[in-house]
């Protein structure tokens, strides 16, 4: 039986052999979805279930004992600190918190000591998972201060440093051209590509962009992850990709059902688009941001000009994104800029001429 791509939708055959579908999220009651998959009736019911059906995050809350880790987790999910975290942070941290809760739920929070936390971390073999665990558990335990414990036992434990890597692959000029040759202007695949490359945007920014953000040749982008919001001029490539698409939706990038992409959904789908274009596995959506900033740097943009476009707040952040710049090309660009500046300076400086007569003394 084929698996549905829609989130939380399941299917089964009833005793008459008819294929039926229902919406179920977590432990909540299933909701039947009428009509054929993708029909207006089906999608209306799905959207209603998706937007109004809320999972009870406090299942079993009435059975938790005061002062336990179980009770602490239930209370933490109600805090302002948890509510203010991004949805992607919830998705990353909640599995760590829930595993910690399953293993230690009945334990009294006041019995936790620093060495307990360190021993728990030592059982996690993967370095990245260990770092993620600490980032999730430390604020959870901080929420118990001072009501349940005087000092956070996870405080003071240093974050483990990950081995240095180059991070996401920065697209080369050849890879950029190969993708453009395969996905033409007028396709959703090309539009998403140009947003990521020309507007140096993350996937969480691309999924929000719509006609309301574009005006008089400028695009306003609400940057994520602590970067500043920016207003940047549309490049010819991005403008052409936008103009070739319908503008009826509130967002430009939509699924085959006409609905906005989720952040993970767009990332996964873009990987398929790049593969269809014959590109290697290393060519992924976030690498286009690096490729775009690399090209801008090679074109002669200064570090501060790059920051004005990307929204980064520090020069060190820009350096991470432009490490793979072609230094020979950059040197050539700088040389040409210096010559041009010298020529402009010479034109602006009047030449002094002596007004002497022939044969004069």
What stretches of the chain show up as alpha helix (H) in DSSP? 40-52, 69-76, 80-83, 87-104, 114-122, 127-142, 173-182, 188-198, 203-206, 236-243, 263-276, 285-298, 303-310, 315-321, 327-348
Query: Would you list the domain boundaries of the chain?
Result: 9-52, 61-142, 173-337
Please write the tens of the pLDDT for every residue from 191-246. Answer: 999 999 999 999 999 999 999 999 999 999 999 888 999 999 999 999 999 999 88
CB atoms within 10 A of CB 328: 9
259 vs 332: CA distance, rounded Å: 46
* CA-wise closest residue to 140 among 86, 85, 88, 87: 85
Q: Report the pLDDT value the prediction gives residue 330, as an integer from 0 to 100.
A: 64
- Would the CA dihedral through 303, 199, 323, 341 be positive or negative? negative
Structure token pair of residue 170? 């920065």
Q: Report the pLDDT value the prediction gives residue 186, as an integer from 0 to 100.
A: 94
CATH of domain 173-337: 1.10.443.10
pTM here is 0.61
33 vs 35: CA distance, rounded Å: 7
252 vs 237: CA distance, rounded Å: 16
Contact 234, 217 (CB under 8 A): yes
Please write the tens of the pLDDT for every residue from 147-198. Answer: 999 999 999 887 666 566 667 899 999 999 999 999 999 999 999 999 999 9
Give the list of residues 6+ apart from residue 203 with CB closer than 8 angstroms, or none: 196, 263, 266, 267, 270, 285, 286
Q: Report the pLDDT value the prediction gives residue 160, as an integer from 0 to 100.
A: 64
CA 99 to chain centre: 25
Rg (CA), the chain: 28
86 vs 90: CA distance, rounded Å: 6
Give the chain's residues under pLDDT 70. 1-5, 27, 51-63, 159-166, 326-331, 333-335, 337-338, 348-361
Structure token pair of residue 321? 């994104």
Residue 11 pairs with which residues in a beta bridge?
21
- Helix (H), strand (E), coil (C) string for 30-79: CEEECCCCCCHHHHHHHHHHHHHCCCCCCCCHHHCCCCEHHHHHHHHCCC
68 vs 149: CA distance, rounded Å: 11
Q: Report the pLDDT value the prediction gives residue 333, as an integer from 0 to 100.
A: 67
DSSP assignment letter at 247? -
């Amino acid at each position: 039986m084929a698996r549905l791509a829609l989130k939380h939708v399941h299917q089964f055959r009833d005793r008459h052999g008819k294929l039926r579908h229902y919406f179920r999220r977590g432990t909540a009651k299933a909701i039947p979805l009428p009509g054929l998959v993708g029909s207006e009736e089906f999608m209306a019911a799905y959207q209603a279930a998706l937007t109004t059906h809320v999972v009870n995050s406090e299942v079993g809350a009435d059975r938790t004992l005061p002062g336990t880790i179980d009770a602490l987790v239930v209370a933490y999910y109600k805090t302002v600190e948890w509510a203010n975290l991004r949805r992607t942070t919830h998705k990353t941290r909640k599995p760590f918190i829930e595993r910690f809760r399953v293993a230690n739920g009945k334990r009294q929070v006041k019995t936790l000591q620093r060495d307990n936390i360190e021993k728990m971390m030592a059982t996690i073999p993967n370095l990245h998972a260990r770092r993620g665990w600490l980032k999730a558990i430390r604020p959870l335990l901080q929420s118990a201060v001072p009501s349940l414990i005087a000092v956070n036992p996870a405080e003071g434990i240093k974050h483990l440093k990950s081995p240095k890597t180059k991070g996401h692959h920065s697209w080369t000029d050849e890879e950029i051209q190969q993708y453009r040759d395969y996905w033409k202007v007028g396709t959703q695949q090309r539009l998403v590509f140009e947003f990521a490359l020309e507007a140096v945007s993350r996937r969480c920014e691309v999924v929000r962009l719509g006609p309301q953000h574009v005006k008089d040749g400028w695009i306003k982008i609400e940057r994520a992850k602590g970067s500043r919001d920016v207003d940047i001029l549309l490049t010819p490539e991005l403008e052409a990709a936008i103009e070739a698409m319908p503008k009826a939706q509130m967002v430009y990038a939509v699924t085959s059902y006409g609905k906005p992409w989720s952040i993970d959904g767009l990332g996964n789908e873009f990987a398929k688009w790049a593969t269809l274009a014959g590109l290697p596995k290393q060519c992924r959506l976030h690498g286009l941001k690096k490729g775009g900033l690399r090209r801008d740097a090679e074109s002669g943009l200064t570090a501060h000009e790059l920051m004005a476009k990307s929204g980064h707040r520090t020069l060190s952040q820009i350096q991470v994104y432009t490490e793979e710049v072609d230094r020979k090309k950059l040197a050539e660009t700088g040389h040409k800029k210096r010559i041009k500046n010298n020529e402009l300076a010479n034109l602006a400086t009047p030449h002094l001429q002596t007004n002497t007569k022939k044969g004069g003394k």
